[in-house]
Structure 1
Amino acid sequence: MKRIVIADDHEVVRSGLRAIVETRSNWIVSGEATNGEQAVALALETRPDVVIVDYSMPLMNGLEVSRRLKALHVRTEVLILTMHENEELLTEAILAGVRGFLFKSDARNHLISAIEALLDGRPYFTSLLLEKLLHDYQLNKQNKSGMLLTSREQSVVQLIAEGHTNRSISTILKLSMKTVETHRASAMRKLGTSSTAELVRYAIRKRLVAP
C-alpha cells in the first residue's frame, strides 16, 4: 500500500485531490495538512511515499517543505502543485529536491501519472509546463530586469507578509535571528523597498500570500 500526504490550505482542493488519489485501490491518503509545518510533521509521522503540496502554503511554502524533508533525510518524493508559471520557480524547486511539478489546472488529468512516475523513481513535469518554461526562459534571456529573490528570501518575505516577527520566522524556518534579518535586508535591497508594507504588497503581487 502506497501512502500519500496531501497539503493544501483549501479544503475543497484537498477533497478533490483525495478523490483522485483514492481511485487507486493500492494508494491511501495517510494524512492531510493545511500548512507547511503540518505537512512536514505528517511526513515525519507517517513516512509517506509521496507528499502532494501546494506551492503557496501558509507558514512554509512547498519548496521550504521539500527543503526541510531533504534536510531531515525523509525518503519521500515531493509533488508541487502550483498556479504560478515561471522558469525561476522550477529552478528553485529542483534545487530544493522537488522531482514532480504540476499545474493545479492539470491535476485532474495528470495527477495519477505524476504520482506513478515519482513512485517509480522518475521525475514528472507536464509538457505544457516545460513549453511554458522554455518560452519564459527565452523571453527572460532577451529582456532580464531586476534582481530575483532566492527561495529562502521568498520564504522570509511570505512569513513577514503573514504577520510573523523575525523571532517567529527564526523558529519556523529553523534559522538564527541574524540570518533572518540578513535575508530580510537582502530582499528589501533587491526589491528597492524600505518598509514592511511594501514587502507585503510585493508578496501579494507575487501570490506568496492571499490578498
Structure 2
Amino acid sequence: MTASTRVLVCDDHALIRTGLTTIIDAQPDLEVVGSCGDGRAAVRLARELEPDVVVMDVRMPLLDGIEATRLLAGDGVVDPVKVLVVTTFNLDEYVYEALRAGASGFLLKDAPPAHLLQGIRTVATGAALLAPEVTRRLVGRYAARIRPPRPTADDDVLTSRELEVLRLVAEGLSNREIAETLVLGQETVKTHVSRILGKLGLRDRVQAVIHAYRQGLVS
C-alpha cells in the first residue's frame, strides 16, 4: 500500500482545527499526525513529527503563520517543510508574504473541502497551489521583491525546450495544457519541469514562476 501523506494542522480556532482534521483524516491517502493552535507549536511539532505538509493559518498567537512558515520553509532552511497557507483573508499582501516566507500554496478557508484536499495532495507532490490569475497578478507585481537577484545567468543551463516549458509554467499553464501547447506527452512535461527545478535549485512551481519573471522570460 502507498504510504499516506502526513499532515500537520495549525489553526488557533479549536473548532476549525477539529473540522480540518476530520475532513483530512476521512481520506484514505491522508493522515493528520498532529495539530496545534499557535505558531511556536507549529514550528516545534513540524520539526518533531516531520509531516509531508503543514496546513498553516496566518493569524495565530505567539508566532504568526507567516513567520512560522519562514522558519520551516524559508531560504536557508536545511530541510524545508511544504506549507499550505489557509486563511480567511483574501489579500494580496498575505499571499505575497506567504510566498516570500516559502509557502508552496495558498487557499481561502471558505474554499470547498475538495479544494483543500486537492491542495494538500498537490503541495505534497512538490507542485505549487496558486490559481494562474493569482500567480500572474502577484508575481508580476512583487517578483523583484520575493527572491534576491541571482549573481549569474543560470538559465544558460536550460535547454531551449526547458526554457519553453518554464515560460508556459510562468504563464500559469498546467502540465496537461503545456503538453497540448507543445504537442508533448504529460509525462515528458513532468520530466522537463523536474529537471528545470533541479537545474535552477528551485523548490517548486511557485519559485519557478518567480524565477521566470525575475529573469525577464515573461512580462
Q: Same fold (TM over 0.5)?
A: yes
- Structure 1 range deviating more: 5-14 or 69-78: 69-78
Q: Is the 8 A contact 1:81 1:102 kept in 2?
A: yes
- Partner secondary structure for residue 102 of structure 1: strand
CA distance in 2, matches of 1:106, 1:60: 25
- Which residue in the other structure is 1:30 paired with? 33
**Normalising by the residue count of structure 1, what TM-score does the alignment of the two structures yield?**
0.58
The answer to whether residue 117 in structure 2 is matched with residue 117 in structure 1 is no
Shift of residue 123, structure 1, vs aligned partner: 0.5
Shift of 1:5: 0.3
Deviations 1:30-54 (A, max 9, x none): 1111100000010010000000011
In structure 2, C-alpha distance between the alignment counterparts of 1:107 and 1:14, rounded to whole Å: 16
Which SS does the other structure have where 1:113 is aligned? helix
8 Å Cα contact 1:36/1:65 also seen in 2: yes
Q: Greater CA deviation, 95-104 or 82-91?
A: 82-91
Local SS of the residue matching 1:29: strand
Matches within 5 A, 1:51-130: 51-70=54-73, 71-126=76-131, 130=134
* AA aligned opposite 1:111: L
Partner amino acid for 1:130?
Answer: V
- Amino acid corresponding to residue 78 of structure 1 in structure 2: V
Q: Tell me which of 39, 45, 49 is aligned to 1:42.
A: 45
Q: Are residues 91 and 72 of structure 1, via their aligned partners in 2, closer, same or farther at CA, if it must alter by over 3 Å?
A: same
- The structure 1 segments of at least 4 consecutive aligned residues displaced by more than 3 Å after TM superposition are none
In the aligned structure 1, how far is the partner of 2:78 from the partner of 2:53? 14
Give the secondary structure class of the aligned counterpart of 1:125: coil
User: What SS is found at the alignment partner of 1:124?
Assistant: coil
Percent sequence identity over matched residues? 33
C-alpha spacing 1:107/1:62, structure 2 compared with 1 (3 Å): farther
Per-residue deviation, residues 128-154 of structure 1 (Å, max 9, x unmatched): x829x949x99xxxxxxxxxxxxxxxx
**1:12 alignment partner in structure 2:** 15
Equivalent-residue separation in structure 2 for 1:85 and 1:15 (angstroms)? 22
Equivalenced residues, count: 135
CA RMSD of aligned residues (A): 2.3
2:6 to 3, 6, 10: 3
Unaligned 5+ runs, structure 1? 139-211
Structure 1 residues 60, 3: CA separation in 2 closer, same or farther (over 3 Å shift)? Answer: same
Judged with a 3 Å threshold, the aligned counterparts in structure 2 of structure 1 residues 41 and 107 are, in CA distance, closer, same or farther, namely farther
TM-score of the aligned structures, taking structure 2 as reference length:
0.56
- In 2, the alpha carbon distance for the partners of 1:72 and 1:59 equals 21
CA separation of 1:107 and 1:41: change in aligned 2, threshold 3 A: farther
